[in-house]
């Protein structure tokens, strides 16, 4: 028996009237950018299957919208609406939302149903939802009870002894790390899986790797790009199954160790020289048009064990997942950001969330099924337009209904929304919980035009920060830090460092100082949150694909590398494999 007969009839009528081309796809015009984009036949089949209309925004503008709803990598101070105390938060001080300490928010000290609203048929759904969203409290940090000694972390679970860590699933002793999983004893790392004792790197299954990009199954190496199954290598690219290579030259064990002993990366100026060499090496290195392993009939980058995926980035163990970023175990899902183990999800921000089924047009939903237009809900099923619920079912606007009443109201609500053009896409830009430039979207090249964002309806405003203009005896300028880590004593732990370039203050914490000393690395001159924001731009991760000619054979292939930026040495799969010998 159909639970929403009126809506089912209305959506069937919508699809019956679609004017499709000879391939059963459709060209559309993005209502924001004016760009034409193609809805593939398999996309149309997916939308029909989950009963949603075709998107009105291009894939790029859908990316912009979801990533603008995800917090950037920074902290602010706000006043708790529960205790009145000042707390650290991912929301700026002028946020319109009520903010609770996360210990309170994730507890039983408050009841989200107390904010319940009755559906008002004469008002638009989004007007009613926004009213609810502004009244229901939000946690200062998304930091749940699975974390131990991990206070300054956000959108992360199952952490122990972590500090300033974002979007992490399972980790221990992590500092300034984001978008990683199952790592320990790492610092300044991004997009790592199974890394141990690494710094400034991204890749999988690395041990004691420093400044290594796109690297896998590698130990005790420095400045590597696109290397696999390597040991004891320095400043190399495109290596496979190698040991004791230095600037891509094969050395004996004794020669390699002699060269390494002559290098002092603990000296800041010397490290900058090698970082400059590494940038040049990456520009010269051969780049595969699509990066990943064990992918079938897919288009994306950093794909592992995927099948029938399209327009995906950093996706693992997934099938029929499209227009998605940073997820593991996706099945039949479109337009998803983050998360693990999900099926039949669409337009969903699932960063650090697990085990979701049938989630649509929602954000920060965890371990739930059949939710639509929900925000910050956990362990729920069959809810519509709710905020902050836990262990609930059959709720609309945070009001409890019987199962029968629920489906009757949802049927009327979805049918009305479809008729008015409200149903079928993510929340409007104005509903983003963060100002546009305080979200993660501006970390990606191509999305930092604030005027364009404002034109599309995103909130662009000045964010007030408490930065003291005075320099006291406890503040040391970053330019005055000791050049070599060997000259740093423990008194640095009591000082505040001023990042002069960005006018940001930061501290060195005990674990961090011990890490620098242990691995002979100099003190950083740039504040950690600035470093984290720079990683994506340094990697030039563009959420877009281009068609380019293989540098070697001329075959046209899709790639994330922008040809207008004069990116060299982009090879098709066959030429890339041939080049590796």
pLDDT tens digits, residue range 230-248? 999 999 999 999 999 999 9
pLDDT of the residue at 443:
78
pLDDT of the residue at 440:
87
What's the average model confidence in pLDDT over 121-125? 93
- Which is more confidently placed, 461 or 253? 253
Q: Among 60-69, 102-111, 532-541, 561-570, whose mean pLDDT is lowest?
A: 532-541
How is 311-376 classified by DSSP, letter by letter? EEEEEEEEEEEEEEEEEEEEEEEEEEES-EEEES-EEEE-TT-EEEES-EEEES-BS-EEEES-BS
- On whether the CB atoms of residues 358 and 345 are closer than 8 A, the answer is yes
Band of residue 465 on the pLDDT scale cut at 50, 70, 90: low
What's the average model confidence in pLDDT over 161-183? 90
Band of residue 353 on the pLDDT scale cut at 50, 70, 90: confident
- On whether the CB atoms of residues 180 and 174 are closer than 8 A, the answer is yes
What's the average model confidence in pLDDT over 554-569? 82
Q: Among 170-174, 183-187, 215-219, 444-448, whose mean pLDDT is lowest?
A: 444-448
Cα–Cα distances (Å) from 221 to 218, 286, 327, 382, 426, in that order, read 7, 19, 28, 50, 43
pLDDT, mean over the chain: 93
E strands, 50-162, in order: 76-79, 86-89, 99-100, 138-139, 153-154, 157-160
Pairing of strands 163-190, 157-160: parallel
pLDDT > 90 fraction of the chain, expressed in percent and rounded:
79
pLDDT at 476 over 90: yes
Among 400, 460, 427, which Cα is nearest to 118's?
400
pLDDT tens digits, residue range 383-437? 999 999 999 999 999 999 999 999 999 999 999 999 999 999 999 999 999 999 8
What's the average model confidence in pLDDT over 184-206? 94
Among 336, 277, 342, 271, which Cα is nearest to 310's?
336
What's the average model confidence in pLDDT over 147-163? 89
pLDDT tens digits, residue range 10-58? 999 999 999 999 999 999 999 999 999 999 999 999 999 999 999 999 9
pLDDT at 567 over 70: no
pLDDT at 473 over 60: no
Q: Check: pTM over 0.75? Answer yes or no.
A: yes
Helix axes 125-135, 403-420, angle to 10 degrees: 120
pLDDT of the residue at 563:
81
- Which is more confidently placed, 366 or 467? 366
Q: Among 68-82, 387-401, 435-449, 517-531, whose mean pLDDT is lowest?
A: 435-449
pLDDT of the residue at 442:
82
Q: Exposed (0-12), middle (13-18) or buried (19+): which is 350, by Cβ within 10 Å? A: buried
pLDDT tens digits, residue range 9-20? 999 999 999 999
DSSP state of 428: P
Band of residue 189 on the pLDDT scale cut at 50, 70, 90: very high
pLDDT at 467 over 60: no
Distance (Å, rounded) from C-alpha 407 to C-alpha 262?
72
pLDDT tens digits, residue range 247-284? 999 999 999 999 999 999 999 999 999 999 999 999 99
What's the average model confidence in pLDDT over 274-298? 92
What's the average model confidence in pLDDT over 452-476? 74
Tokens 């920074």 found at: 74
pLDDT of the residue at 471:
46
pLDDT of the residue at 1:
66
Band of residue 469 on the pLDDT scale cut at 50, 70, 90: very low
What's the average model confidence in pLDDT over 286-291? 90
């Amino acid at each position: 028996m159909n639970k929403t007969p009126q809506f089912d009839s209305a959506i069937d009528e919508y699809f019956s009237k679609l004017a499709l081309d000879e391939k059963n796809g459709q060209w559309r015009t993005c209502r924001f950018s004016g760009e034409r984009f193609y809805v593939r036949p398999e996309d149309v089949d997916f939308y029909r299957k989950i009963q949603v209309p075709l998107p009105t925004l291009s894939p790029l503008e859908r990316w912009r919208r979801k990533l603008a709803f995800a917090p950037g990598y920074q902290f602010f101070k706000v006043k708790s609406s529960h205790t009145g105390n000042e707390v650290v938060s991912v929301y700026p001080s002028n946020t319109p939302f009520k903010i609770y300490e996360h210990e309170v928010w994730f507890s039983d000290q408050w009841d989200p149903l107390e904010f319940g609203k009755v559906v008002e048929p004469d008002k638009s759904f989004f007007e009613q939802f926004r009213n609810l969203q502004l009244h229901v409290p939000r946690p200062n940090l998304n930091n749940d009870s699975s974390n131990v000694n991990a206070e300054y972390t956000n959108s992360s679970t199952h952490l122990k002894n972590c500090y300033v860590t974002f979007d992490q699933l399972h980790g221990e002793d992590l500092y300034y790390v984001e978008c990683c999983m199952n790592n320990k004893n790492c610092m300044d790392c991004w997009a790592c899986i199974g890394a141990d004792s690494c710094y400034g790197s991204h890749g999988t299954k690395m041990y004691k790797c420093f400044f290594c990009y796109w690297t896998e199954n590698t130990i005790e190496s420095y400045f590597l790009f696109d290397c696999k199954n390597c040991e004891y290598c320095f400043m190399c690219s495109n290596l496979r199954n190698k040991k004791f290579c230095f600037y891509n030259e094969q050395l004996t064990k004794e020669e390699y160790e002699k060269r390494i002993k002559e290098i002092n990366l603990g000296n800041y100026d010397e490290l900058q020289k090698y970082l400059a060499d590494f940038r040049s090496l990456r520009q010269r290195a051969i780049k595969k048009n699509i990066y990943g392993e064990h992918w079938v009939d897919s288009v994306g980058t950093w794909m592992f064990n995927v099948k029938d995926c399209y327009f995906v980035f950093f996706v693992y163990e997934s099938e029929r997942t499209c227009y998605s970023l940073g997820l593991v175990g996706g099945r039949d899902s479109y337009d998803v950001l983050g998360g693990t183990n999900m099926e039949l999800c669409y337009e969903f921000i699932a960063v650090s969330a697990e085990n979701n089924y049938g989630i649509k047009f929602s954000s920060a939903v965890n371990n739930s099924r059949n939710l639509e237009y929900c925000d910050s809900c956990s362990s729920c099923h069959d809810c519509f337009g709710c905020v902050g619920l836990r262990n609930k079912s059959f709720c609309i606007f945070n009001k409890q209904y019987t199962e029968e009443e629920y489906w009757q109201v949802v049927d009327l609500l979805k049918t009305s929304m479809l008729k008015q053009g409200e149903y079928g896409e993510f929340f409007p830009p104005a509903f983003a919980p963060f100002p546009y430039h305080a979200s993660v979207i501006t970390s990606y090249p191509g999305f930092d035009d604030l005027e364009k964002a404002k034109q599309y309806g995103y909130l662009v405003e000045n964010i007030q920060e408490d930065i003291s203009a005075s320099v006291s005896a406890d503040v040391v300028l970053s330019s005055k830090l000791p050049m070599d880590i060997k000259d740093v004593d423990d008194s640095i732990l009591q000082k505040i460092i001023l990042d002069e370039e960005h006018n940001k203050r930061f501290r060195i914490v005990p674990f961090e100082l011990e890490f620098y000393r242990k691995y002979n690395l100099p003190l950083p001159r740039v504040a950690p949150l600035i470093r984290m924001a720079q990683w994506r731009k340094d990697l030039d991760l563009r959420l877009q694909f281009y068609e380019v000619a293989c540098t070697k054979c001329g075959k046209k292939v899709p790639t994330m590398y922008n040809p207008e930026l004069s990116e060299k040495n982009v090879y098709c799969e066959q030429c890339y494999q041939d080049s590796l010998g």
